[in-house]
Structure 1
Amino acid sequence: MIVPMIVEGCRRRLPYRGLAIVLFSLVMLGGCGSVQDVIKIGEEKADVFLPAEQLVMKGMDEYNDGKYFLALEYFNEILDRYPFSPEAPLAELKAADSSYQMERYAEALVLYEEFEERHPTNEAIPYVMYQKGMCSYRGIDRVDRDTSGAVAAIQAFEELLRAYPDSPYTEEAQARIRAASEFLVNHEFFVVQYYLRAKKYDQAKVRLNYILAVYPDAKIAPQAQELLTLIEEGNPPRSGFASWFIDLSLPDWMPFVGNKDENTEQPGAASS
């Protein structure tokens, strides 16, 4: 073995202090790869001992560069070491935003809810409520799968509209409500397709009547009415189902609001 030979040689030529230095150097260089790695780790560790003002600046720099994981570490460090500092509310908000940007929507939702509970009068609350809706909205999958994300998103956006009807997020929240509602309609229409394939026409009629009663303004309503009429006349489609039914994914929200950039302004969080 190379290391024992080196150590044995050192015993003959070096005092114990020198031997300790050699051993330390071998361990550090073997574990870290290079002296530069050791220095870099030391610099990163030193960052966490900065005051809250500098930590939040470093966190925001990382966030603005799209390095959300690193940003989250800085924000969490503020919350761990300076929970009552003036920077803490901003750190809470940006920790939630960092999780959201990393597509950790369930985690982000919890953090937004905690921020809202702790700082109910903060100026960022309309944004926080909008982001709560977006966490559920981003979880919407396909019409042939779970629809709970669409339901939760609609509820969250409606809560925002009731509490802050004139917020900067009103128009976009309304558009996403309509898109999520279309998704729910399409889910119901997908179930109709299942009943038609199974020749369960009574159940298909029930679903179609539900669509027309609850979503009379949906884009698919005319098609639903036409299909219902055919079933009531005893002439339901027995093939070519694909021509009746729509895409399985969430409808694009943009047509509901016009040409508008999807990026929503993210306000700072003042002290509550």
Structure 2
Amino acid sequence: MRSFTRIGFLAIALIGTGVGLAACQSDKDIDITKLGFEAESPEVLYNQGLANMKAGNMAEAGRKFDAIDKQNPFTEWGRKALVMSTFVKQRMGRNDDAISVGNRYLKQYPKSQDSAYVQYLVGLSYSKQISDVTQDQKAAANTIAAMSIVVKDYPDSEYVEDAQAKIRFARDQLAGKEMQIGRYYLERKEYLAAIQRFRNVVETYPNTNQVEEALARLTETYYAMGIVEEAQTAAAVLGRNYPDSQWYADSYKLLQSGGVQPRENRGSWISRAGAKLIGA
């Protein structure tokens, strides 16, 4: 691996910035680090970065790894520094920066020994950006996309289990967003729009924690529209999959108030979607 001597590296660095070496030598107040350069070899910088990490000084560690990346790109030290830079930025909560650096690493070294780890760090950074369901859920969608690559492309890696957990959580969030919008429409008696949202939860996110309420809301919405058979089917599918659910108890009570009971119509889309649920 090619490395520079301290004097040789300084000379090249200073020439690149238009600052003469003689000028540097004549002015003792110049701090070379303020010019964006580190005079040490990449190996020394890397070890300094690790030492700073161990000491809990993540910002300084990140600065060392970033210096290697800038000064020694496309070298083995540069590759390793990108991995550590992604990690440090993610640990510091600089998730956008971690995603940017991580994706750059994956583009440059798609088949390296650390690709699974970096892909996982990218997914983890997205997952840290997920907000509550009242907010935009783009980060949840990005989490699913990134972590799905971990599961698919690196099935034997140690990161798969947590990647799958992050995917489940992100899917719960996307389903929760659909439910929030659906309830909004239901409260305003915009029934068709509400049904579309609840249907999306049942069909697209069948094994999330939002399905029970979605089926109950479908029962409520169809019943309010006078489409009793679909309301009965929704309640029947809910009862078959979640018989002890309070949502089922409420749906049963609603139908009973109108003199009917849950009854599944096998030709309904709800019945077909119900076959994919946990208790089917």
The TM-score with structure 2 as length reference comes to 0.65
Residues 32 and 38 of structure 2 are in contact (CA less than 8 Å); yes or no, is this contact kept in structure 1? Answer: no
Q: C-alpha separation between the residues in 1 aligned to 2:33 and 2:102?
A: 31
Rate the CA distance shift 1:82–1:43 in 2: closer, same or farther, 3 A: closer
Alignment of 1:83-102 (within 5 A): 83=73, 85-102=75-92
Residue 214 of structure 1: CA displacement? Answer: 1.4
Question: Residues 66, 203 of structure 1: CA spacing in aligned structure 2 closer, same or farther, 3 A cutoff?
Answer: same
Report deviation, 1:43: 11
Asked whether the 8 Å contact 1:72–1:98 carries over to 2, the reply is: yes
TM-aligned CA deviation for residue 121 of structure 1 = 2.3
2:158 — aligned with what?
A: 168
Report matched runs for 1:77-156 at 5 Å. Answer: 77-83=67-73, 85-156=75-146
CA distance in structure 1 between the aligned counterparts of 2:96 and 2:174, rounded to whole angstroms: 21
Cα distance change on mapping 1:53 and 1:229 into 2, 3 Å: same
Letter in 2 for 1:232: Y
Q: Which residue of 1 aligns with 2:51?
A: 61
2: CA distance between counterparts of 1:79 and 1:217?
43
Question: How far did residue 129 of structure 1 move?
Answer: 0.9
Q: What's the offset of the Cα at 1:62? A: 0.8
Aligned equivalents of 1:116 and 1:43: distance in 2?
A: 29
1:211 aligns with 2:198: no
C-alpha separation in 2, matches of 1:165 and 1:84: 28
- SS of the aligned residue for 1:139 comes to coil
Matched letter for residue 177 of structure 1: I
State the Cα deviation string for residues 199-252 of structure 1 (Å, max 9, x = none).
21221122112211112222221221122112212289xxxxxx98xxxxxxxx
Return the offset for 1:196. Answer: 2.1
The equivalent of 1:247 in structure 2 is: none
| Partner of residue 182 from structure 2, selected from 177, 184, 192 | 192
Alignment of 1:15-30 (within 5 A): none
State the TM-score, normalizing by the size of structure 1: 0.66
> Which letter maps to 2:131?
D
Q: Is the 8 A contact 2:191 2:225 kept in 1?
A: no
- Structure 2: stretches of 5+ with no match in the other structure: 1-27, 227-245, 248-280
1:60 Cα deviation after fit? 0.7
CA contact (8 A) 2:123 2:147 kept: yes
Runs of 4+ in 1 over 4 A off after TM superposition: 41-45
**1:50 aligned onto 2:40:** yes
Q: Deviations over 1:27-61 (max 9, x none)?
A: x9xxxxxxxxx9xx89999x932222221111111
**1 or 2 for the larger relative contact order (CA 8 Å, sep ≥6)?**
1
Provide the alpha-carbon RMSD of the alignment.
2.7
List alignment gaps of at least 5 residues for structure 1: 1-27, 29-37, 237-242, 245-272
Percent pairwise identity: 26
Contact 1:105/1:135 (8 A) holds in 2? yes
Distance 1:94 1:70 in 2: 12
- Give a deviation string over 1:178-216, Cα, whole Å, max 9, x none: 110011111111111211222212211221122111122
Matches of 2:196 and 2:162, distance apart in 1:
33
User: Counterpart in 2 of 1:260?
Assistant: none
How many equivalent pairs are there?
199
Contact 1:189 1:208 in 2 (8 A): yes
> Separation in 1 of the partners of 2:220 and 2:58?
54
Which stretch has the larger CA shift, 188-197 or 84-93?
Answer: 84-93
- Residues in 2 aligned to 1:42 and 1:149: alpha-carbon distance in whole angstroms: 39
Report deviation, 1:173. Answer: 0.6
